[in-house]
Structure formats: C-alpha cells, structure tokens
Amino acid sequence: MKKMFLTLCVAAALMCGHTAWAAHVTETEATARLKTALSQSFATATHVRWYTDDQKVFTAKFLVGETQVSAYFDADGNLLSTRRYITEEQLPLAVVTKVKKRYPSHEIRSTVELDAGNTTTYYITLEAETTWMVVKSDSNGQLSVYQRLKKA
C-alpha cells in the first residue's frame, strides 16, 4: 500500500509543472546514509542535488551519462522509485506500436519512465493539432489516458 501511494504521488508530481514543484520542495544536504545508498544504486551518477519537502522522502536529481534521473529514497536510504526522461526509441516496442496504432494523428513529444518496486510505468506526452494528451502505459503497452488538454 505504501509503495502504491508513493507511486501515485510520484506520478502526480511528474505531471505538475516545475514551478509548482519548486514552491514546496527545498534543496537539502543529504545524510551519509543517503549518499551511500545513491552511490550503491547509481555508481556513475554526476551533478547530484538533493531535495525534500517533508524530511521523510528525499529526491536525488542527477545525470547518468546524458540522461536526467530522479531517485526517491526514504530517510533510511531505501530506494523507493526512480524516474527518468527517455527518448521514443527507448520505449519498449510494444508500447510504441500500440501508441502509434491507437493515436495515429498524434506525435510523441516526451516520455518518462517510472520504476517503483517491480513495476515500470511510462508516461507519454502526445501532441495533435488541437490537443495535448498524456498516456500511461505498462511495459506491455496497456494504455490509458492519464490527462487531456486543449491547446489555447
């Protein structure tokens, strides 16, 4: 239940604007335990910055190669979930195939991969002539509309 709640919170945070996120979360100094946990999970992480809004869940934002990654840890250093921005080419073939088949008039504009526990979820932002849409998918291409927006 805790992981499910955290997954929902992280997913909601993914869809909120950076300004809203920045209003509540503050940069912080990581404890030795958090730094060790990060280095054990992501040995090649660079440009690491730590954030928290409640001193219970800590977010490490960093680069692995050229990829921007966010990792969420509890205060004990347990990795709760990760989020990374990926390219369309990095999506599983089943996901890309089903998105393009179901939404042929839309272009993929951005993709986010969220790993929590043993579950990987993809959030794919699609653009059409008059709308934006965020589609949620599992690794097998089970699609659902997460959010719809009309262009101004």
Mean pLDDT value across residues 65-74: 96
Task: Specify the pLDDT at position 24.
Answer: 75
Q: Taking Cα atoms as reference points, which of 111, 113, 120, 8 lies closest to residue 57?
A: 8
Is a pLDDT exceeding 50 seen at residue 57?
yes
107 bridge partner residues? 127
Q: Which two tokens stand for residue 137?
A: 């998918």
For β-strands 107-116 and 79-86, DSSP reports them as antiparallel
| Domains, the chain, ordered by start | 2-84 (no CATH), 87-150 (3.10.450.360)
Is a pLDDT exceeding 90 seen at residue 41?
yes
- For the beta sheet containing 57-64, the strands, ordered from the edge strand earlier in sequence to the opposite edge, are 26-28, 46-52, 57-64, 67-74, 79-86, 107-116, 119-127, 131-138, 143-150
Other beta carbons within 10 Å of 71: 24
Is a pLDDT exceeding 80 seen at residue 19?
no
